[in-house]
Amino acid sequence: MEGDEAPTELIEAVGGSRRRTAGGGGDRTQKVIFTLGEVLITLGLVVLLFVVYEVYVTDWMSAGKQADATADLDERWSQEPPPDPGNQRTEKVRPVDGEGFAKLYIPAFGTDFVFTVIEGTNEATLEAGPGHYTDTALPGEPGNFSVAGHRVGKGAPFNDLDLLRSCDAIVIETQTDWYVYRVMPMEGEAQGWDQGRGASEQCTDVNPLGEPYEDLIGQQIVLPHQSEVIAPVPNHPDRVAPPQRQVALITLTTCHPRFSAKQRLIVHGVFTKQYPKDPATPGAQPPELTEG
């Protein structure tokens, strides 16, 4: 009967419609998943390429700039007569912006760790190597000789700065002298210093400092705007140390944590020794360079 056939045709039609609808929805879902997967893969490749560029390509580019700065510095040192230390009227010459003027050694990082320090801390300067904060002290001077450096990419001179321990040597070479600084006691080490870390031979010339440096420690983490860490009395730009209490400090700054500029890692050291260069032994180096 026609009445009996109609429901069958209707059921088949509806069933077919359902199957087609279900199939179409599955295709759309698959397309969405496939597209999302492609987007994630593309983003992953972009991130990977950025990391490769930031870590390896910029390292390679900065290595060339650092080599040029070092070659230029060595040539100037070999051609320009050094200042006469016996001439009391000789004034210290401030470094030229963008020009290398000293070399930085950190023996704890190996005998091959040496970077030419360049005057200034703008982006172009820091791509070539560690940069000296203009208007901070010069090596060996009372005050705070302060140097910034990248932690990841662009040569990454300060990549391992967080590994420095109290009393580790930081050596600065100039045309005429070697200056040895040592990392200050870390937070919590000052109490019982003489019986603890301070009892080691490496710490012979390092002690917690008194007023106005009484809260100065070897390592701290600060926010980017806290530029007071490079003040003559670190963290206290309003303090002026009387002449009899002034000390010569070094401060190294870099980004923290790695791959981020959210904070700054700061290392403070105190000047302990100076070795004038002897023209009769031009290759002589201070023993601190072998401390590794």
Question: What's residue 86's pLDDT?
Answer: 54
Distances (CA, A) of 106 to 59, 122, 164: 19, 23, 9
Question: What's residue 142's pLDDT?
Answer: 97
* Token pair recorded at residue 73: 């510095």
Cα separation of 201 and 199, whole Å? 7
Question: What's residue 56's pLDDT?
Answer: 59
Cα separation of 194 and 200, whole Å? 9
How, if at all, do strands 177-183 and 169-173 pair?
antiparallel
Question: What's residue 45's pLDDT?
Answer: 59
- In the chain, domain spans: 56-290
Domain at 56-290: CATH code: 2.40.260.10
- Helix (H/G/I), strand (E/B), else coil: 266: strand
Question: What's residue 209's pLDDT?
Answer: 96
Question: What's residue 16's pLDDT?
Answer: 44
E strands present in 164-205:
169-173, 177-183
* Token pair recorded at residue 196: 């603890």
286 near 273, Cβ under 8 Å? yes
Cα separation of 147 and 267, whole Å? 10
* Token pair recorded at residue 4: 């009996």
Cis peptide before 212 (omega within 30 of 0): yes
Question: What's residue 3's pLDDT?
Answer: 44
Instruction: Tell me the pLDDT tens digit for each residue of 27-82.
Output: 788 777 777 777 777 766 555 555 554 555 667 789 999 999 999 999 999 998 77
In the chain, what are the helix, strand and coil shares in percent, each to the nearest 5?
A: 35, 20, 45
Amino acid identity of 85?
A: P
176 near 191, Cβ under 8 Å? no
Which residues, 6+ apart, have CB-to-CB distance to 180 below 8 Å? 169, 170, 171, 271, 272, 273, 274, 275, 286, 288
Question: What's residue 55's pLDDT?
Answer: 55
69 near 101, Cβ under 8 Å? no
Distances (CA, A) of 102 to 12, 26, 259, 264: 89, 68, 28, 24
Helix H or strand E encompassing 58 = helix 58-79
Where the chain has pLDDT below 70, the residues are 1-25, 43-58, 83-92
Total length of the chain: 292
Question: What's residue 4's pLDDT?
Answer: 45
Amino acid identity of 280?
A: A
235 near 215, Cβ under 8 Å? yes
